[in-house]
Amino acid sequence: MKWTLLVILAVLALALSVVLGPAAVPLGELLRSDIVWNLRAPRALLAFLVGGSLGVAGAGLQALVRNPLADPFLLGLSGGAGLGAVIAIALHLSGPWALPIAAFIGALAALGLVYRLGLIGGASLDPRILLLGGVAIGAFAAAITTAIVSLADAAELRNAFLWLWGGLSGASWDSVLLVALYAPIPLVVLLAASRPLDLLALGEEPAQYLGADVERVKRRVYLAASLLTAAAVAVSGVIGFIGLVVPHIARLTWGHRHRSLLPAAFLGGGALLAFADTLARTVVAPRELPVGVVTALIGVPVFAFLLKRWTIA
């Protein structure tokens, strides 16, 4: 029953994304409309893919670091992506894909650094160091970014920060195809880790005694979640709160078994981002809000409500 509702919700969110928008497209002309086919449809799909990826990455990460407050953007990836983007602009790199590629490389560089830090205690990946390292590397990257912005050509770079705030404006069938080909691999890796993630909630030692290859699982989950997040940032900037809040909402109904939690987080995250993007496009039309602002505005009250429920439990 609840799965049916979730699927209906997802379909509804997608439908609203396609039907609603600042440009008035009468219902009768939807199927013939250029705007709908070339702009709204790919944008809706991209929002769904990105939102779903962030939801799953968030759920996996929360299980990995055993901290329900973990968000994919705590890994330092957004800092790395922002730095990559700003360097690309400062160096005047041309090409329509220069920004996303540079952001992706920046995110990967941050990923590599944090991973390396996480191994500092030995061969075992320490989740607490991953979190702390992520925050540190993220702050470090942000500092360098600010330095570059203040030293180089100011105006353009300030607009780069708007990009970083999150937006699906760059959505096209090209980017949808890219993400649709890329995302399934890390998503499947995370789904395959469902049972070990359930066990990990008991602690690393008990999980090991229940048959989980803990080291391998930690590595895979960290890399898969990070790769999903890196792609999301490269394609749509930093869209916060989805990775943090959607897993919690999903847990309220689906519980903690990751086998059902992860798919629910995917559908829920996708629906939420598609819906938030529709709001971003229509609420102050003809202007547009950065979608990261909308997810934060929706996410914070939901988060507060969850916290209240959590402390009561």
Partner 1 sequence: MLRRLSVVVLVLFACHTSARRHENPPAQRIVSLLPSFTELLFAIGAGDRVVGRTQWCDYPPAALSIPSVGDGLPPNIEAVMARRPDLVVLYNAGPNVTAAKQLERAGIQTVLIDLNRLEDLGPAARTLGRLTGREEQAESLAIALDSLAGRPPPPATTSLAFVVWDNPPIIIGHGSYLDQLATQAGARNVFGDIAAPSAQVSLETIVARDPQWIAVLSDSTVPPAFAKRREWRAVRAVRAGHFLLLPGSLFGRPGPRSGNAIQQLRARLAR
Partner 2 sequence: MDDRVILALDKVRYRYPGASHDALDGVSLSVGLGQFHAVLGPNGSGKTTLVRIALGALTPLVGRADIDRRPASMWSRQDLAKLVGVVPQREDNLFPQRVRETVLLGRYPHLSLWGRERAEDHDAVDRALGACDVAHLADRWLWTLSGGEYQRVRVARALAQEPKLLVLDEPGMSLDLKHEMGLFELVLGLVREQGLGVLMITHDLNLAARFADSLLLLEGGRPVAAGAPNDVLTQQTVETVFSWPVAMQTVDGRPQMIPLRQPKESRA
Residues across the chain = 313
Binding of partner 2 by 201 (CB under 8 A): yes
Among 88, 105, 199, 233, binds partner 2 (CB under 8 A): 199
Task: Considering the complex, state which of residue 48 and residue 115 has its C-beta at the smaller distance from partner 1.
Answer: 48
CB atoms under 10 Å from CB of 137, counted, come to 23
Tokens of 267: 């559908």
By CB under 8 A, the residues from 223 to 282 that bind partner 2 are 251, 255-257
Task: Considering the complex, state which of residue 163 and residue 254 has its C-beta at the smaller distance from partner 1.
Answer: 163
Least separation in angstroms between CB 149 and partner 1: 11
Which residues does 55 contact at the CB level (< 8 Å), separation at least 6?
A: 242, 243, 246, 247, 250, 265, 266, 268, 269, 270, 272
Between the CA of residue 198 and those of 90, 131, 205, 262, 265, what are the distances in Å? 45, 20, 13, 11, 15
Least separation in angstroms between CB 40 and partner 1: 7
CA–CA separation, 90 and 86 (whole Å): 6
CB 237 within 8 A of CB 292: yes
Least separation in angstroms between CB 79 and partner 1: 19
Query: Pick from partner 2, partner 1, none: which does 114 bind, CB < 5 to 8 A by kind?
Result: none
Least separation in angstroms between CB 198 and partner 1: 40
Binding of partner 2 by 105 (CB under 8 A): no
CB atoms under 10 Å from CB of 224, counted, come to 24
Which residues are at the interface with partner 1 (CB under 8 A)? 21-24, 34-35, 38-40, 42, 94-96, 98-99, 154, 156, 159, 162-163, 167, 169-174, 281, 285-290
Tokens of 233: 């940032």
By CB under 8 A, the residues from 162 to 181 that bind partner 2 are none
For every residue of 107-156, DSSP letters joined together read HHHHHHHHHHHHTTTSSS--HHHHHHHHHHHHHHHHHHHHHHHHHS-HHH
241 sits in the region (left: phi over 0; alpha: psi -120 to 50; else beta) called left
Query: Pick from partner 1, partner 2, none: which does 305 bind, CB < 5 to 8 A by kind?
Result: none
Contacts with partner 2 by CB under 8 A: the residue count is 24
Binding of partner 2 by 184 (CB under 8 A): no
Task: Considering the complex, state which of residue 86 and residue 125 has its C-beta at the smaller distance from partner 1.
Answer: 86
Least separation in angstroms between CB 64 and partner 2: 11
- Binding residues for partner 2, rule: CB under 8 A, are 66, 68, 122, 192, 195, 198-199, 201-203, 205-206, 208-214, 251, 255-257, 313
